[in-house]
């Protein structure tokens, strides 16, 4: 086990800056997810930790030792690739033992290690098969086994589940979580899937255009997003954003003039709106559904789409503030075209300034 620290690292390809003066600490034994949209630099960051990408500026430390110039194989890290990268000409056994074989480990040691890992990952029955004869999930387990056999200080996962179907992805998530509990090794996991990040990680680092947008526990990010980018990226369905004008400041919060003429009072987190215009961020489950025209409600609107998901119902409601997504109970009886009233849960809402930062 080891901690990982990046100090002011930058990565550029010619004039294109991919990572910009980024600093990050990953605690010993933690499961940290690097989350962000395509092109945000999360895979590049992982590859910089692995040593597969040169660090243009800054330093990388693993367990307190600087490894910025250390070759990948000597960093004590192991990586699971998105494509699995299993050698097609080798059997499962040979794939798992490949690093040991390169290091000229005695045959007995190789067999012992392969036995240990294959048992842990339930691959014992598949050892003589080639990757082409395996299912996606089995290949994924072999890729993990190949990393596991090296007994690394840090596991690096580069979108390892993105090639699997939804059911298998869910199953593999559980297996990865169990694996982390068993081996307790530091794991850094790159994903663009916020559900994977939320369910697996102790800490999520949200990246946007090469910089850390916010880092924290999954619930911190969900409940207290630092900016509009994080607020919109975390949560499914996505947070609703409603433009509003500041009417007055009341103690900790603001009274806002909503589109459509009504008002709402939203608490701030201590920030000050720089201008007259702000955005309210409210998650679909924090919009209460009611009858139209009721005093105290925030909007009246018309239901345009109803999505019955069984355990929950998603309504798309056209209002003066735009189309808002509302999450209701599974057995909600609402039809397209129904007139409804929506009330913002002020305590659970967020205010974002013109620069996108939370107020």
Partner 1 sequence: MTAAVETTMAAGVPRRAGFVDLGAVLLTILTIIVACIWFFPVFWALSTSLKTDQEAIADGINILPSNPTFNNYLYVIQHSDLPIWYLNSTITSVGITFLVVFMSACAGYAISQLRFPGRMALWWTILASFMIPGTALIVNHFIIIAGVKLLNTHLGVILPLLVAPVTVIVYKQFFDGIPRDFREAAVMDGANEFQLLFRVYLPMNWGITTALAIITFIGAWNNFLWPFLAIQNEKMMTVTVGITQVQDTFGVAYARVIAGAVMAGLPVAIAYLLFQRRVTQAITLSAGIKG
Binding site for partner 1 (CB under 8 A): 50, 52, 71-73, 77-79, 81-83, 85, 87-90, 98-99, 102-103, 146, 150
Least gap, CB of 319 to partner 1 (angstroms) = 45
Q: Which is nearer to partner 1, 145 or 253 (CB)?
A: 145
CA distance 187 to 77: 10
Buried b (16+ CB within 10 A) or exposed e, 128-137: eebbeebeeb
Q: What is the nearest approach in angstroms of partner 1 to the Cβ of residue 37?
A: 22
Nearest CA to 353 out of 231, 260, 236, 235 is that of: 231
Minimum distance from residue 203 beta carbon to partner 1 (Å): 24
Instruction: Tell me the closest approach of the beta carbon of residue 27 to partner 1, in angstroms.
Output: 23
Q: Are 284 and 352 in contact (CB under 8 A)?
A: no
Distance of closest approach, residue 101 Cβ to partner 1, in angstroms = 8
Residue 14 beta carbon to partner 1: minimum distance, rounded to whole angstroms: 15
Please state whether the peptide bond connecting residue 53 to the residue before it is cis, i.e. omega within 30 degrees of 0: no
Query: Based on the number of CB atoms within 10 Å of its own CB, is 167 exposed (0-12), middle (13-18) or buried (19 or more)?
Result: exposed
Nearer to partner 1 (CB atom), residue 99 or residue 298: 99
Name the residue nearer to partner 1 (CB basis): 79 or 231.
Answer: 79
Nearer CB in complex with partner 1: 141/146 = 146
Measured from the CB atom, the residue of 100 and 326 that comes closer to partner 1 is: 100
Closest CA to 326 of 311, 349, 307: 307
For residues 21 and 73, which CB has a smaller minimum distance to partner 1 in the complex?
73
């Amino acid at each position: 086990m080891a901690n990982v620290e990046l100090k002011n690292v930058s990565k550029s390809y010619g004039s294109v800056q991919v990572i910009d003066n980024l600093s990050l600490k990953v605690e010993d034994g933690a499961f940290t997810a690097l989350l962000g949209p395509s092109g945000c630099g999360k895979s590049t960051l992982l590859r910089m930790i692995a040593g597969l990408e040169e660090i243009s500026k800054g330093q990388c430390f693993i367990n307190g030792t600087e490894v910025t110039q250390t070759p990948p194989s000597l960093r004590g890290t192991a990586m699971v690739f998105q494509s699995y990268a299993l050698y097609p000409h080798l059997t499962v056994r040979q794939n798992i033992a490949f690093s040991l074989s390169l290091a000229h480990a005695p045959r007995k040691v190789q067999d012992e290690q392969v036995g240990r890992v294959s048992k842990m990952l339930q691959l014992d029955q598949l050892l003589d098969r080639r990757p082409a004869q395996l299912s996606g999930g089995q290949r994924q387990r072999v890729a993990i086994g190949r990393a596991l056999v090296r007994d690394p200080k840090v596991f690096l996962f580069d979108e390892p589940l993105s090639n699997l179907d939804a059911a298998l992805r869910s199953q593999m998530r559980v297996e990865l979580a169990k694996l982390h509990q068993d081996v307790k090794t530091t794991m850094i996991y790159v994903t663009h899937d916020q559900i994977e990040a939320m369910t697996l990680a102790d800490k999520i680092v949200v990246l946007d255009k090469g910089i850390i947008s916010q880092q924290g526990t999954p619930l911190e990010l969900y409940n207290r997003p630092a900016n509009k980018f994080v607020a919109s990226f975390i949560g499914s369905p996505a947070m609703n954003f409603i433009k509003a004008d500041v009417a007055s400041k009341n103690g900790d919060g603001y009274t806002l003039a909503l589109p459509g003429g009504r008002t709402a009072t939203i608490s701030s987190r201590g920030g000050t709106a720089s201008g007259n215009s702000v955005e309210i961020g409210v998650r679909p489950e924090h919009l209460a559904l009611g009858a139209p025209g009721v005093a105290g409600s925030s909007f009246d609107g018309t239901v345009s789409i109803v999505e019955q998901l069984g355990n929950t119902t998603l309504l798309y409601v056209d209002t003066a503030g735009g189309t808002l997504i509302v999450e209701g109970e599974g057995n909600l009886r609402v039809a397209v075209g129904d007139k409804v009233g929506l009330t913002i849960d002020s305590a659970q809402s967020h205010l974002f300034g013109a620069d996108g930062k939370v107020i």
